[in-house]
Structures are given as C-alpha cells and as structure tokens.
C-alpha cells in the first residue's frame, strides 16, 4: 500500500470510528473524505451514517411541477444559461393569471402535489406581482403545496420593496406560500461568489433569509453548486455553514448537491466538467457531514436517472420527483428528460433494492410500493 493510500485508509477509519461513536465529523474529516479516491468506501460510510441515523429502505419522490414565471434577471451569474435581459431574444415574463392558467392546465392533465416555482430576479416587477402570483396559485390549486422562490429571490423582493425579510416572508406566507426552494446558495465562500456570481447577495444574506423563514414556520431546502472554481475546502466550509444553521433552526427539509452544467454559460471554458464519481462523492460526503439534515436528494434532472439510482447506495434517500418542464438545467446543457413518469421512478428505485415512497413536500407518506 502506498503512503497516500495508507493515509487515506487511516482517515476513513477515523470517520468510521466517529460514526460508530455518534461523534460529529469536523472540517478536517470532510476534507479527508473529499481527498479520498476510495469511492466505494465513501459510499459504504455514507450508507452506514444514513442507517445509523434512522434511515431505512425508503426512497422518496414527489409528484411535482416546475415552473418559471420569468427568465429576466439582473444578476447575470456566470454559470447561468437561463437568464435573459428584458430586451434579449427569448426573454419572457408571465403575469400571475398566465402562470396560474398554465399551472391549472398541467394539473388537469396530470395532478401533482407540489408546485416548484423559481425565477430570474427581474427588476421590472414589484413585490405585488409576487404576492398576486402566490394568491392566485393558492386560490386555483388549494391542495397543492406551493414551494416557491429561493432565499436569493426573497432577498431580491426585499430589495425591490424596501421591506424586511420578515415582512416579505410573512406576506408571502399569508398569501399561500408553503416553503422555499434551495437555490442561490451556490458556494458560500466570498472568493467563489465574486468569481461566479458577483451580482448575487453575500452568503450571510442567504443564510439570514432562511433563518427568518424557519422562524416564521416556513421550511426550506438547501443546495450546493459545485464543480467550477471552488476548492474542496470551500465545499466543506459550505456544508459546515449549512449544518450550523440547521443546528439553530432545524428548518431545512433536504439537501441537494448539483454539479454545474457548463454549456451556454460564461464560465471559463477550461473548467473540466464534473464526473459521475464527483457526483457520488458529493452525495456521500454531504450525507456524512450534514448529520442534522434528514434527506439528501440525488436530483435526477442534474445527474440523470441512472446515476441517481446508483447514488441511492451513496447516502441519498430521495430522487426528487416527476418535475415536468424544467428549464434552468436544460438551458445549460442537461440532457435528461424533463419529465419522469411515476412508474419509471418506481422501477428505478425498486431495481436498486429499495422501497419507493411517494411523499408530499414535508415528507408525509402518500403511497408506498412494497
């Protein structure tokens, strides 16, 4: 065994001992896991962690619809192929009534439990446009869980309106908002944000929006966008900051790691695209480090269904849902289908030796396939 392999084996053994003793992993452990090339050992450790923390064979998914009301955005993240400026070809902004009609038509074709709505941060709308949208969706689809807007969009609404995060979130909740999406976290390091998303709010604001939301009883999701200019230490720092907030509030429902898609973006063309091994590592290490977030998603829209299926052996317990009409990842070159029929999700989960469970957004069970 080479010196490097021996050092890696010692680090993984230390993680295993901590897991078995119920001890929390620290930043040095997280980095050692990322530096390890022993992918199968990482998967085994992540699965051990998942089961030690109460996970069983269940794998969750939701019947949902993803919509985007506008792709007009002032932020211009370098990794984004979805955003347009208002006069650019392909720019669109739907009124609350148009969006509600689209959501209603989709529901008539195929009922869903969750509506996932994210947008560009348009400077050409006001807070009332958001409130009216949520009110209108809630009135038309009262049984559908409205999972709308990232913490970054809430920050944008606060900027547009001059209102506090608390007031923005309270008014949205009163209008019918049920939870927040997890986008906009990217990587928290200011060095990285400056390089890939210089127009985006600092990490502290993203975290504060989530803190306030959780305090108001609005749960949310958390994410990490990796595979661009960040270091492994910056990925670990990102996970630790999420874990710290979750210790404080307990309001994150699930964590979702995404690899950046490079096509049609303004990122450095020299960036080497992430591999399947990177995706599996991200899943496994987030399961190990985020010991207080109950669910880790293998988001098939970004990873593809076959790799999501494999990620179920690396600590993931959720593959998101039927999704429908996804545009953000596909603009940046994702080649996955944009809609997965329930029977296909069920078949992939069962073929991995696990039990498919249809859930709602809050992880209440709707149906299981034994």
- Rg, the chain, Cα only: 20
Q: Which stretch binds ligand SF4 (CB under 6 A): 76-84, 172-180, 246-254, 268-276?
A: 76-84
Residue from 41, 62, 77, 283 binding ligand SF4 (CB under 6 A):
77
Q: Is 78 in the site for ligand SF4 (CB under 6 A)?
A: no
Residue from 14, 18, 76, 347 binding ligand SF4 (CB under 6 A):
76
Residues 6+ positions from 327 with CB-CB distance below 8 Å: 66, 68, 71, 82
> Phi, psi at residue 271, to the nearest 5°?
-60, 130
Residues 6+ positions from 337 with CB-CB distance below 8 Å: none
- Distance of alpha carbon 315 from alpha carbon 309, whole angstroms: 11
Which is closer to ligand SF4, CB of 82 or CB of 188?
Answer: 82
* Contact by Cβ (8 Å): 120, 72: yes
Q: Is 80 in the site for ligand SF4 (CB under 6 A)?
A: yes
- Distance of alpha carbon 279 from alpha carbon 296, whole angstroms: 12
Residue from 82, 130, 149, 226 binding ligand SF4 (CB under 6 A):
82
Q: Is 167 in the site for ligand SF4 (CB under 6 A)?
A: no
Tabulate helix, strand, coil % of the chain (nearest 5).
45, 15, 40
Q: Which stretch binds ligand SF4 (CB under 6 A): 44-52, 71-79, 231-239, 276-284?
A: 71-79
Q: Is 317 in the site for ligand SF4 (CB under 6 A)?
A: no
Residue from 16, 48, 55, 75 binding ligand SF4 (CB under 6 A):
75
Question: Reading across the β-sheet that carries 64-67, which strands appear in turn?
Answer: 64-67, 114-117, 145-148
> Please, what is the minimum distance in Å from the beta carbon of residue 195 to ligand SF4?
13
> Please, what is the minimum distance in Å from the beta carbon of residue 293 to ligand SF4?
23
- Distance of alpha carbon 117 from alpha carbon 205, whole angstroms: 21
Q: Which stretch binds ligand SF4 (CB under 6 A): 68-76, 265-273, 278-286, 308-316?
A: 68-76
> Please, what is the minimum distance in Å from the beta carbon of residue 261 to ligand SF4?
12
Residue ranges that bind ligand SF4, judged by CB under 6 A: 73, 75-77, 80, 82-83, 120-121, 152
């Amino acid at each position: 065994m080479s010196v490097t392999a021996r050092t890696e084996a010692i680090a993984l053994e230390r993680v295993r001992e901590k897991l078995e003793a119920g001890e929390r992993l620290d930043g040095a452990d997280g980095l050692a896991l990322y530096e390890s090339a022993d992918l199968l050992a990482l998967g085994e450790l992540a699965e051990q962690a998942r089961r030690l923390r109460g996970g069983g064979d269940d794998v969750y998914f939701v019947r949902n619809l993803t919509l985007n009301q506008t792709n007009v955005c002032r932020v211009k993240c370098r990794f984004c192929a979805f955003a347009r400026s208002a006069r650019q070809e392909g720019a669109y902004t739907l009124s609350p009534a148009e969006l509600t009609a689209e959501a209603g038509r989709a529901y008539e074709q195929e009922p869903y439990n969750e509506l996932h709505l994210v947008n560009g941060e348009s400077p050409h709308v006001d807070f009332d446009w958001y409130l009216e949208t949520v009110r209108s969706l809630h009135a038309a689809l009262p049984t559908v869980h409205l999972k709308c807007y990232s913490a970054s969009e809430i920050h944008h609404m606060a900027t547009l309106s001059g209102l506090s995060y608390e007031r923005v979130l309270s008014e949205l909740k009163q209008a019918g908002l049920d939870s927040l999406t997890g986008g906009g976290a990217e990587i928290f390091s200011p060095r990285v944000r400056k390089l890939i998303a210089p127009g985006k709010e600092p990490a502290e604001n993203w975290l504060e929006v989530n803190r306030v939301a959780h305090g108001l009883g609005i749960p949310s999701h958390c994410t990490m966008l990796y595979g661009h200019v960040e270091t492994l230490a910056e990925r670990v720092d990102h996970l630790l900051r999420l874990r710290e907030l979750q210790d404080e509030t307990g309001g994150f429902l699930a964590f979702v790691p995404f690899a950046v898609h490079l096509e049609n973006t303004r990122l450095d063309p020299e960036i080497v695209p992430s591999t399947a091994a990177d995706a599996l590592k991200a899943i496994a290490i987030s399961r190990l480090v985020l010991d207080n977030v109950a669910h880790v998603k293998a988001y098939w829209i970004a990873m593809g269904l076959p790799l999501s299926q494999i990620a179920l052996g690396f600590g993931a317990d959720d593959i998101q849902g039927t999704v429908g009409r996804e545009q953000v990842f596909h603009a940046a070159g994702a080649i996955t289908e944009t809609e997965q029929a329930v029977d296909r999700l069920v078949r992939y989960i069962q073929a991995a030796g696990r039990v498919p469970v249809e859930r709602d957004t809050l992880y209440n069970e709707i149906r299981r396939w034994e």
